Amino acid sequence: MDIRIINPNTTASMTALIGRCAQAAAASGTRITAVSPKMGPASIESHYDEALSVPGILEEIRHGERDGADAYVIACFGDPGLYAARELAHGPVIGIAEAAMHMASLIGNSFSVVTTLERTCGMAWHLAERYGMRHACRNVHASELPVLDLEKPGSNARGIILEACRSALVQDRSECIVLGCAGMADLCEDLTAELGVPVIDGVVAAVKLVEALVGMRLSTSKHGDWARPLPKPYTGLLAPFALA
Ligand code: 2AL
């Protein structure tokens, strides 16, 4: 099974980290290819970043379709371009926020999201609403670590995220932690051991969900909302995005 993981930001070291964490959790027959778009923001921390990441993500979906990928993971906690990607792809496409929230809801009545900057908390709430997880999501907590600082030596990312998780569990009386950034994937095991509650990283959650879907020969329904987009001309910089 070929799973393509798209890191919607263009930071190659983060794409490599996501790929390593995904491969470590994947089944023996699963081949993970982690890619990032060739155009777009270095990190995604606003609606603006998110909107401008989408053309690059869709280009990667088209490459995956050309290469015969079986399924896709969109590895950014805002799930940018998820529904458009589903319209283009034959196989399943899962976003890490939807994967993590759904997985969390299966093992606890409530979860807390621990994310990067305060300004991204609203985006996580929008997703909780969209996925019907409003009741289970007790709160969304900012660590105030910018995405790229997660990988910066000396940023104490692990310690800061650990403290944010501890404080979230006390404040929210929640039962699990959902990590609110793909760049936190490598912290998951360690945080689980330290905190004593389930910690869900969306990258691994999404890999395991697409493996299950492909294993069941299930794919995105093309009878309705996620049918292939209609052919039409696109102009300017977006001309190459016109579909036949
Ligand atoms: C993210 C993420 O997962 N990748 C990225 O660039 N930004 N999410 C976030 N909440 O900051």
Residues with CB under 6 A from ligand 1: 9, 43-45, 76-78, 115-116, 120, 147, 180-183
Beta bridge partners of residue 115, listed in sequence order? 142
Work out the pLDDT band at 75, boundaries 50, 70, 90: very high
**Which tokens in the block code for residue 101?**
């929230």
Question: Which atom from ligand 1 is nearest to the alpha carbon of 120?
Answer: 10
Write the pLDDT tens digit of every residue in 34-64: 999 999 999 999 999 999 999 999 999 999 9
Q: What percent of the chain has pLDDT over 70?
A: 100
Residue 39 Cα to ligand 1 middle (Å): 16
Give Rg (Cα) of the chain.
17
Alpha helix ranges (H) inside the chain = 12-25, 47-67, 82-88, 96-107, 121-130, 157-172, 188-195, 202-215
Q: Hey, whose CA ends up nearest to atom 9 of ligand 1?
A: 181
Mean pLDDT in the chain? 98
> Could you give the 3-state DSSP secondary structure of residue 6?
strand
Write the pLDDT tens digit of every residue in 131-164: 999 999 999 999 999 999 999 999 999 999 999 9
Per-residue pLDDT at 62: 98
What's the sign of the alpha-carbon dihedral 210, 120, 145, 168? negative
Q: How many CB atoms sit inside 10 A of residue 186's CB? A: 18
Burial class (CB in 10 A: 0-12, 13-18, 19+), 125: middle
Q: What is the pTM of this model?
A: 0.97
Question: Which atom from ligand 1 is nearest to the alpha carbon of 41?
Answer: 6
Summarize the confidence of residues 170-192 as an average pLDDT.
98
Question: Which atom from ligand 1 is nearest to the alpha carbon of 117?
Answer: 11
Summarize the confidence of residues 214-230 as an average pLDDT.
97
From 9, 49, 148, the mutation candidate for ligand 1 (largest count of ligand atoms within 8 A of CB) is 9
Q: What percent of the chain has pLDDT over 90?
A: 100
Rounded CA separation 138/125 (Å): 10
Are the beta carbons of 155 and 149 closer than 8 angstroms?
Answer: yes
